[in-house]
């Protein structure tokens, strides 16, 4: 059996990938309460890790390469979760693209090939952790003077094994351990819990950002007292502060604009967040339902739902990871002394350039056109009033701002369609796999012969079309939400993901409870 499918050279990695640390799959059925307990436990561990700061890191000199995508990547700056789920998602993207383009010859309907695919992806996660950690530590995650001095006294201050290099190695090891723990926590949730760990971590991070962005009563600049020029950071406290302390005349001449449109956390962002939440909840409920009947049990009928968002929110997660990596490498090629020497890419303003005002956000070039808009203040206000707000877009003209909006929207929609197709191909959600699943459960479509090929032809009328619509819609929703803006810098994409994840988790809870009460349904839902 293995010889028929062993056409891929990745089988040579199998002895290595089989020895990588992994979470063992349960041998039998896991009780619903046990699954729920594992989910809660992993979420607690996630929040603990976001509050465990890297030992020996100079927190004052940290440059966050993933700042605009922090909530989406489920990370926390300067903590064990600094890299978040970035390496995991990037490894998944690479494997999907290679398998989808037939560069890697693996048949994911075959159990052995699928095991090789998953093992190779696990190995690639380790590679991507190092790819993302090493460049950041050598330039952007600076070891503290105390750690360097301590290491100098042990190994010396010069040479390849100097105190500074050892200090950097200590930080890299911490990043590696934190990122691989996240990978294992995701496996715990997927094998012993409910749903996807990565999705739950994203939802938890976004929920935390939204909560603090809405009710944070601390001033924007914590070193200064609260004032009209340094108001509370949260939307609600900021609004109340302005209404109580600012005279009516001042409010009419600019106060209302401050609380409605200007950063941080304007009211329009809170309204946009609520609107996105409600709209996504409505779209998630839209579906086509194919009638099904049991082949032997007369009168037993059911429906197979094909949701409008068939590919779920996975395409947007993958697109966010791609854009985050583009932003990271653009910053590295612009600022890193070694990478600046790389031909064409090094210090090339066309790829992306950065200024003192922009910090870790691109001020121009390709990276700027692909960067996440910071709500209405990041594009609409500078277009309407270039004189007052041009600094928010680093001096770009209204035409360039419009081009940025169109490019960002086009890339999000097109990329989400592409990843939706790849996701369906690699997760047994295509017409052939679904037809086989329905057939194995003993069901059939009334009026059609009970044959997987017939089922496949019927499903091919719907699934490919819905997949494209799903990718385009979720990409457009995410881009539109980013343009409106959200509280807490959660990003519109983050809110979209969080809402979809919570709805799907609620549905997964319902399925688990149903399988607990009716064990015969486990086979149809893919349970043990």
Q: 27-36: per-residue pLDDT in tens? A: 877 888 899 9
Quick check: is 238 in a domain? no
Q: Copy the structure tokens of residue 247.
A: 């005279």
Query: Between 68 and 527, where is the model more confident?
Result: 68
pLDDT at residue 410, as a whole number: 95
Same domain, 373 and 288: yes
Same domain, 299 and 389: yes
Residues 190-241: tens digit of each pLDDT: 889 888 888 889 888 888 889 988 999 888 887 788 887 788 888 999 889 8
pLDDT at residue 8, as a whole number: 73
Q: Confidence class of residue 408 from pLDDT cuts 50, 70 and 90?
A: very high
State how far the Cα of 387 lies from the Cα of 39, in Å rounded to an integer. Answer: 51
Residues 445-471: tens digit of each pLDDT: 776 666 777 888 888 888 899 999 999
State how far the Cα of 96 lies from the Cα of 119, in Å rounded to an integer. Answer: 14
Count up the domains in the chain and report the number. Answer: 2
pLDDT at residue 54, as a whole number: 92
CA distances for 17 relative to 5, 12, 120, angstroms: 18, 10, 7
Quick check: is 226 in a domain? no
Q: Confidence class of residue 5 from pLDDT cuts 50, 70 and 90?
A: very low
Q: Copy the structure tokens of residue 208.
A: 């935390």
pLDDT at residue 1, as a whole number: 41
Quick check: is 232 in a domain? no
Q: Confidence class of residue 4 from pLDDT cuts 50, 70 and 90?
A: very low
Contact 309, 466 (CB under 8 A): no
Query: Between 300 and 412, where is the model more confident?
Result: 412
Averaged pLDDT, 164-174? 92
Residues 352-388: tens digit of each pLDDT: 999 888 877 899 999 999 998 878 888 888 888 888 7
Quick check: is 199 in a domain? no
φ and ψ at residue 504, rounded to 5 degrees: -65, -35
Q: Which of 164, 193, 222 is the last residue of a domain?
A: 193
Quick check: is 249 in a domain? no
Same domain, 189 and 274: no
State how far the Cα of 237 lies from the Cα of 219, in Å rounded to an integer. Answer: 10
Same domain, 280 and 426: yes
Q: Confidence class of residue 180 from pLDDT cuts 50, 70 and 90?
A: very high
Q: Which of 159, 193, 227 is the last residue of a domain?
A: 193
Q: Confidence class of residue 2 from pLDDT cuts 50, 70 and 90?
A: very low
Q: Write out the residue range of the structural domain in which residue 361 sits.
A: 265-496+519-528
Same domain, 39 and 157: yes
Question: Which residues on neighbouring strands pair with residue 219, listed in sequence order?
Answer: 232
Nearest CA to 77 among 379, 359, 493?
A: 359
Same domain, 178 and 42: yes
Same domain, 336 and 457: yes
Averaged pLDDT, 122-147? 88
Q: Copy the structure tokens of residue 251.
A: 């409010």
8-state DSSP, 518 = -
Quick check: is 224 in a domain? no
Same domain, 338 and 476: yes
Same domain, 164 and 284: no
Same domain, 326 and 469: yes
Same domain, 274 and 177: no
Contact 501, 200 (CB under 8 A): yes
User: What CATH number is attached to the domain comprising 73?
Assistant: 1.10.3370.10
Residues 314-326: tens digit of each pLDDT: 888 788 888 888 8
Quick check: is 422 in a domain? yes
pLDDT at residue 522, as a whole number: 53
Quick check: is 416 in a domain? yes
Q: Which of 132, 165, 193 is the last residue of a domain?
A: 193
- Answer whether residue 491 shows pLDDT above 90: no
Nearest CA to 71 among 62, 81, 60?
A: 81
State how far the Cα of 401 lies from the Cα of 383, in Å rounded to an integer. Answer: 7
State how far the Cα of 164 lies from the Cα of 158, in Å rounded to an integer. Answer: 9
Q: Confidence class of residue 41 from pLDDT cuts 50, 70 and 90?
A: very high
Same domain, 330 and 478: yes
The overall average pLDDT reported for the chain is 83
Contact 276, 495 (CB under 8 A): yes
- Answer whether residue 249 shows pLDDT above 90: no
């Amino acid at each position: 059996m293995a010889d028929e499918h062993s056409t891929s050279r990745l089988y040579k990695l199998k002895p290595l990938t089989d020895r990588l640390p992994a979470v063992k799959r349960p041998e039998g059925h896991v009780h619903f309460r046990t699954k729920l307990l594992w989910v809660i436990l992993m979420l607690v561990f996630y929040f603990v890790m976001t509050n465990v700061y890297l030992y020996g890191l100079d927190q004052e000199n940290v440059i966050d390469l993933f700042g605009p995508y922090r909530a989406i990547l489920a990370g926390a700056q300067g903590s064990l979760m600094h890299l978040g789920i970035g390496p995991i998602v990037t490894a998944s993207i690479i494997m999907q693209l290679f398998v989808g383009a037939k560069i890697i010859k693996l048949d994911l309907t075959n159990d052995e090939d699928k095991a090789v695919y998953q093992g190779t992806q696990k190995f690639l996660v380790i590679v991507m952790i190092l790819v993302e950690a090493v460049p950041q530590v050598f330039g952007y995650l600076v070891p503290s003077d105390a750690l360097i001095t301590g290491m100098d006294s042990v190994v010396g201050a010069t040479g390849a094994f100097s105190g500074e290099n050892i200090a950097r190695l200590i930080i890299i090891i911490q990043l590696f351990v934190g990122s691989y723990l996240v990978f294992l926590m995701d496996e715990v949730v997927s094998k012993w819990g409910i749903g996807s760990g990565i999705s739950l971590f994203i939802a938890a991070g976004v929920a935390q950002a939204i909560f603090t962005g809405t009710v944070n009563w601390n001033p924007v600049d914590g070193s200064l007292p609260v004032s009209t020029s340094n108001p509370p950071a949260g939307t609600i406290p900021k609004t109340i502060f302005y209404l109580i302390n600012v005279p009516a005349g001042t409010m009419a001449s600019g106060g209302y604009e401050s609380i409605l449109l200007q950063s941080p956390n304007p009211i329009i962002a809170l309204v946009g967040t609520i609107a996105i939440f409600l709209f996504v909840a409505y779209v998630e409920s839209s579906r086509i339902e194919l009638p099904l009947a049991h082949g032997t049990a007369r009168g037993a009928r059911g429906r197979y739902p094909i949701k409008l968002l068939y590919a779920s929110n996975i395409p947007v997660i993958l697109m966010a990871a791609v854009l985050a990596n583009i932003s990271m490498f653009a910053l590295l090629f612009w600022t890193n002394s070694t990478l600046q020497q790389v031909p064409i890419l090094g210090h090339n303003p066309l790829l992306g350039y950065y200024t003192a005002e922009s910090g870790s956000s691109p001020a121009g070039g390709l990276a700027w056109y692909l960067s996440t808009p910071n709500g209405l203040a990041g594009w609409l206000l500078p277009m309407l009033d270039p004189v007052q707000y041009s600094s928010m877009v680093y001096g770009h003209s209204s035409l360039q701002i419009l081009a940025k909006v169109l490019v960002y929207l086009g890339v999000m929609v097109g990329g989400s369609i592409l990843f939706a197709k790849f996701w369906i191909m690699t997760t047994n959600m295509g017409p052939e796999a679904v037809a086989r699943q329905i057939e194995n459960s003993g069901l059939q479509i009334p009026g059609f012969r009970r044959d997987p090929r017939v089922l496949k032809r019927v499903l091919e009328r719907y699934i490919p079309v819905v997949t494209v619509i799903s990718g385009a819609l979720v990409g457009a929703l995410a881009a539109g939400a980013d343009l409106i803006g959200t509280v807490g810098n959660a990003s519109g994409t983050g809110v979209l993901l969080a809402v979809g994840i919570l709805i799907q988790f609620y549905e997964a809870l319902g399925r688990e409870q149903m399988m607990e009460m009716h064990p015969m349904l486990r086979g149809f839902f893919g349970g043990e």
